[in-house]
């Protein structure tokens, strides 16, 4: 059934250019036609979502940013040492899902100060995030060589593969946690296959910890995470001419401490029908029906090992923050 819908939408969009908007339409149709319903967290990030995420990073409850910032600010030298970069070799520093680059700037400043030769290539699905990052870097590090790349990192890997210089890939902020284990395994295999021998990855992951620390990060007192989650409905209203009533849905985060998986849902408060004009379709929601919008997987060494088992990536180093909440793993590509 879903496959039929998907095929017919694919036919429709084949005649249009494969714009981001067409993919958004197709993903919304697929997600809201499924049981249970789901939407990809990558669609949180438009101009409004980017600004809300910056607010989230500044919330006292969102320990992830401060923890990883602690590593980038206070263990910069150890981090660079683990990357084994020769000062005379030109390399590409590629960040997948760069966002506002707040932590990366600590590394960039160090590399710049120490005269390393590199080009910084931030990749993000949000052009707005890239524009903001480029503007701020032009001010803070005017000599930095920077090339932004807009796109979904799953697709951008194809282009990255063709870059000839040695590579250091940054995949920070527990971005990998937004993939389920099966997606993470496939992604890391694809990433491993885009690299050459001795290229490196810095993988930032949130470590499994207790519910009293994790859950407030996705359910803050001020309601910023709630606004962030609801923004995906507001985005469909703006871009797909939908008529979601934001007051008729609520934000519901959950955390399973044993598995180390946090998830966010939107829950319909009432029986309701929503029209999405651009799709020329209506979708029914019953009272208490959920839309799954985000997974935030937490890790430990053995889960990571399992994710990497079919890749040519080996853990070379592991740096943690002072509270042991977060880890940046340095992975080495061992074969061609
Ligand atoms: C949780 S934020 C983390 C930002 C930054 N890496 C950090 O650690 O602060 C996720 C970022 O990745 C981007 N993003 C999310 N899904 C993406 C995808 N599939 N492809 C490319 N960028 C994506 C978002 O636009 C956002 O800037």
List the chain pLDDT tens, one digit each, 336 residues.
444 444 443 443 343 335 667 899 999 999 999 999 999 999 999 999 999 999 999 999 999 999 999 999 999 999 999 999 999 999 999 999 999 999 999 999 999 999 999 999 999 999 999 999 999 999 999 999 999 999 999 889 989 989 999 999 999 999 999 999 999 999 999 999 999 999 999 999 999 999 999 999 999 999 999 999 999 999 999 999 999 999 999 999 999 999 999 999 999 999 999 999 999 999 999 999 999 999 999 999 999 999 999 999 999 999 999 999 999 999 999 987
Token digits for 124? 């993000």
How many angstroms separate the alpha carbon of residue 328 from the centre of ligand 1? 16
Token digits for 229? 């989650």
* Residue 99 beta carbon below 6 angstroms from any ligand 1 atom: yes
3-class DSSP state for residue 271? coil
* Residue 172 beta carbon below 6 angstroms from any ligand 1 atom: yes
Closest residue CA from atom 7 of ligand 1: 173
- Assess contact for 38 and 292: CB atoms under 8 A: yes
Counting Cα atoms < 13 Å in the Cβ hemisphere of 76 gives 16
Contact residues for 26 (Cβ-Cβ < 8 A; gap 6+): 6, 9, 10, 13
* Residue 42 beta carbon below 6 angstroms from any ligand 1 atom: yes
User: Where do the domains of the chain lie?
Assistant: 2-54+218-297, 63-209+299-333
* Residue 124 beta carbon below 6 angstroms from any ligand 1 atom: yes
Distance between CA atoms of 181 and 322, rounded to whole angstroms?
A: 27
DSSP secondary-structure letter at 208?
A: P
Distance between CA atoms of 100 and 136, rounded to whole angstroms?
A: 9
3-class DSSP state for residue 146? strand
* Residue 97 beta carbon below 6 angstroms from any ligand 1 atom: yes
Distance between CA atoms of 173 and 125, rounded to whole angstroms?
A: 15
* Residue 27 beta carbon below 6 angstroms from any ligand 1 atom: no
How many angstroms separate the alpha carbon of residue 133 from the centre of ligand 1? 13
User: In this predicted structure, what is the pLDDT of residue 20?
Assistant: 66
* Residue 176 beta carbon below 6 angstroms from any ligand 1 atom: no
- Rg, Å, the chain Cα set: 20
User: Going by DSSP bridges, is the β-strand pair 326-333/200-206 parallel, antiparallel, or unpaired?
Assistant: antiparallel
How many angstroms separate the alpha carbon of residue 286 from the centre of ligand 1? 32
The residue with tokens 């040695």 is 166
Nearest ligand 1 atom to alpha carbon 65: 9
- Assess contact for 283 and 271: CB atoms under 8 A: no
How many angstroms separate the alpha carbon of residue 202 from the centre of ligand 1? 15
Token digits for 102? 């707040």
* Residue 297 beta carbon below 6 angstroms from any ligand 1 atom: no
- Of 195, 140, 213, whose CA–CA distance to 335 is shortest? 195
User: In this predicted structure, what is the pLDDT of residue 336?
Assistant: 72
How many angstroms separate the alpha carbon of residue 116 from the centre of ligand 1? 26
User: In this predicted structure, what is the pLDDT of residue 11?
Assistant: 43
Q: Which CATH superfamily is domain 63-209+299-333 in?
A: Vaccinia Virus protein VP39 (3.40.50.150)
Other CB atoms within 10 Å distance of the CB of residue 319: 21
* Residue 173 beta carbon below 6 angstroms from any ligand 1 atom: yes
- Of 138, 83, 131, whose CA–CA distance to 107 is shortest? 83
How many angstroms separate the alpha carbon of residue 188 from the centre of ligand 1? 16
How many angstroms separate the alpha carbon of residue 248 from the centre of ligand 1? 28
Distance between CA atoms of 269 and 37, rounded to whole angstroms?
A: 15
Distance (Å) of CA 170 to CA 38, 99, 276, 303: 28, 12, 37, 20
């Amino acid at each position: 059934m879903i496959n039929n819908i998907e095929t017919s939408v694919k036919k429709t969009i084949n005649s249009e250019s494969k714009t981001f908007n067409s993919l958004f339409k197709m993903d919304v149709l697929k997600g809201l036609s499924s049981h249970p319903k789901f939407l990809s967290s990558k669609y949180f990030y438009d101009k409004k979502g980017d600004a809300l995420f910056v607010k989230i990073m500044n919330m006292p409850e969102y320990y992830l940013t401060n923890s990883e910032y602690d590593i980038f600010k206070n263990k910069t030298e150890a981090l660079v040492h683990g990357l084994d970069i020769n000062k005379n070799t030109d390399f590409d520093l590629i960040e997948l899902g760069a966002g506002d680059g707040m932590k990366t700037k600590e590394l960039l400043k160090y590399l710049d100060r120490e005269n390393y030769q590199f080009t910084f290539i931030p990749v993000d699905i949000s052009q707005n995030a890239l524009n903001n990052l480029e503007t701020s870097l032009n001010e803070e590090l005017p000599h930095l060589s920077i090339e932004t790349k807009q796109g979904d990192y799953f697709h951008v890997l194809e282009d990255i593969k063709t870059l000839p210089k040695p590579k250091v890939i940054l995949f920070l902020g527990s971005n990998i946690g937004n993939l389920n284990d099966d997606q993470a395994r496939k992604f890391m295999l694809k990433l491993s296959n885009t690299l050459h021998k001795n290229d490196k990855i810095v993988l930032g992951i949130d470590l499994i910890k207790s519910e009293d620390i994790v859950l407030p990060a996705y359910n803050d007192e001020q309601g910023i995470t709630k606004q962030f989650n609801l923004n995906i409905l507001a985005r469909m209203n703006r871009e797909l001419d939908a008529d979601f009533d934001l007051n008729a849905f609520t934000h519901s985060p959950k955390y399973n401490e044993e598995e180390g998986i946090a998830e966010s849902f939107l829950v319909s408060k009432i029986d309701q029908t929503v029209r999405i004009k651009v799709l020329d379709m209506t979708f029914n929601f019953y009272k208490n029906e959920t839309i799954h919008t985000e997974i935030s997987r937490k890790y430990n060494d053995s889960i990571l090992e399992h994710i990497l088992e079919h890749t040519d990536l080996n853990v070379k180093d592991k740096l943690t923050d002072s509270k042991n909440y977060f880890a940046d793993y340095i992975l080495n590509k061992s074969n061609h």
